[in-house]
Amino acid sequence: MSLGKLIKFRKTLSFRLTIWYAGIFTLSSFIAFSVFYSRIYSITMARADEELIEETEEISAALNEGGIGAVRAEIAEEAEEEDENNIFFRVISRDGEILATTNMSSWGNIDISHKTIKAQDSQANYVLQTLAIPGREYKARVISAPIGPKEIFQMGMILEEEEEYLKIFRNLFYLLFLVMAFVSGLFGWFIARQGLRDVEEVTRTAIEISSGSHDKRVRVKDRYEEIERLGNAFNMMLDRIQSILLAMREINDNIAHDLRSPLARIRGIAEMTLVREKSADDFKKMAASTVEECDTLIDMVNTMLEITEAEAGVAQQNIEEFDLAKLISDACDLFRPIADDKHIDINLSIPDKLHFRTDRKKLQRMVTNLLENAIKYTPDGGTVAISVLVHEGQVDIVIQDNGIGISQDDQPHIFERFYQSDKSRSTTGIGLGLSLAKAFAVALGGKIIVKSTLGDGSTFRINLPASSFS
Ligand code: ADP
């Protein structure tokens, strides 16, 4: 692995998790081993100490019964039985005179420690020490005990057996420790890889999407809960981005198809006037037509922007409280002159007051668009009825006409941008009114439902959720 790759690898989460896992596991094993070892050590030492104490008690009894002579005999007997390189006995007076001893040539200089003197002063029973003997491989355990008014008994034992025994344990621990560090490292790596495998798939999907596969999604089934949530959030974000991309593409198409014609018309008018007509009146007519076409264009562009903003969910919501009954009757008043011209009756069936809480301007645009259509697509002498139904905490604003109706084939398309069932039927529209109404309804958490029969009339129902009531 090159140095660059190694540095990169050290920065990976898998590596960090492995190190943490192996580190914590190894440290805990080390603590457990240390506790276990210290327990074995104390048990082993306690056993050696017991032997020393027992021997001390025997020598003390011999001194009490038969004086120093008996002690000498006892020590000599012990020395015969044991190897004097591994064990020693001696009795020293308080001022350093040796009263009895075994051969101590291999033991070096073993003093009576201050602790022993203090112990004798305080009438304590014994002092135990572990001493390193110069030139010897193993340490020695030495007991020093006052056994008479002047006499101090000392006995030392080389701890060969005990140290060998503890060494076996230590070596076993070292070995186990190494194996555990290695195994926990492997295990940690495996767990980290398992956990991060799914995250890597999210990354792979993101890379694939950025290189053009916009339809790709992260697989979320049979995943760990956290990864499932990450995948869902990621997929939701992708859906959203895709819908915005689609909306942008649609706008591009719309610009290509629908804005081109009014522009071409404006150009055509100007060209015709320049080429053929020269009078001031003709120029005035051309200017008037150009203004008219420009107004339509501005209207189109503004409405398209509003639809796109509402669909993309970036339009600001100005939630306010208002009286829905008044909003509807104001809209009717606005259209009454046009309806009167066509001898169309507008029947209102709404409560006196209906407190409502939503984006008032958006709702107003929806109602006026639908009302305008109802009047526009109803022949002279027809009827338009508006009612408000409150049910199960929802509200329906119903706009019904007995006009020309919409064919079954056209109904699925009327909410599409620039869709007009039959251009000859609509003289004034641009085919954006229903798209805008639908985009606003969805933005307010509702929907618009249409029922229509060609020749019999249409019913448009704006359905808004319970949260809109104040
Ligand atoms: P337009 O500007 O053409 O009215 P809309 O988006 O408002 O555009 O409506 C789309 C099409 O749906 C219209 O062209 C018309 O054919 C049809 N339509 C809408 N409302 C009605 C209605 N109340 N009765 C019959 N047809 C309707």
If you measure from the C-alpha of residue 421 to the centroid of ligand 1, how many angstroms do you get, rounded to a whole number?
7
Digit-coded pLDDT (tens) for 251-277: 777 777 777 878 888 888 888 877 876
User: Any residues with CB less than 8 A from the CB of 304 and at least 6 apart, and which?
Assistant: 251, 254, 417, 432
Count Cα neighbours of 197 within 13 Å in the Cβ-side half-sphere. Answer: 11
Q: In 3D, which of 22, 43, 144 has the Cα closest to residue 89?
A: 144
Top-ranked range on mean pLDDT: pick from 212-221, 247-256, 321-330: 321-330
Residues 141 and 157: beta-carbon distance below 8 Å = yes
Determine if ligand 1 sits within 6 Å of the CB of residue 384.
no
Please identify, by atom number, the ligand 1 atom nearest to the C-alpha of residue 378.
24
Which atom in ligand 1 lies closest to the alpha carbon of residue 399? 23
**CA proximity to 96, closest of 150, 60, 19:** 150
**pLDDT value for 458:** 97
Indicate if the pLDDT at residue 117 is higher than 60.
no
The Cβ of residue 12 has, within 10 Å, a number of other Cβ atoms equal to: 12
| Distance of CA 424 from the midpoint of ligand 1 (Å) | 12
The more confident residue out of 349 and 242 is 349
Q: Which atom of ligand 1 lies closest to the CA of 431?
A: 8
Assess whether the C-beta atom of 371 lies below 6 angstroms from ligand 1.
no
Model confidence pLDDT, tens digit, residues 151-192: 888 899 999 888 999 999 899 988 988 888 889 889 888 888
Q: Which atom of ligand 1 is nearest to the CA of 436?
A: 6
Residues 221 and 231: their CA atoms lie apart, in Å, by 9
Which strands sit side by side in the sheet containing 139-146, from one edge to the other? Answer: 98-101, 87-93, 151-158, 139-146, 127-132
Query: Is the shortest distance between the CB of 370 and ligand 1 below 6 Å?
Result: no
Ligand 1 midpoint to CA 325 (Å): 25
Dihedral angle sign, alpha carbons of residues 221, 223, 229, 231:
negative
Among 452, 439, 353, CA closest to 400:
452
pLDDT bracket for residue 397 (50, 70, 90) = very high
Q: Is 372 in the pocket of ligand 1 (CB under 6 A)?
A: no
Instruction: Tell me which residue has its CA closest to atom 4 in ligand 1.
Output: 429
Q: Could you tell me the pTM of the whole model?
A: 0.57
User: What is the atom index within ligand 1 of the atom nearest the CA of 419?
Assistant: 10
The CB of 403 under 6 Å from ligand 1? The reply is yes
164, two tokens: 């060998």
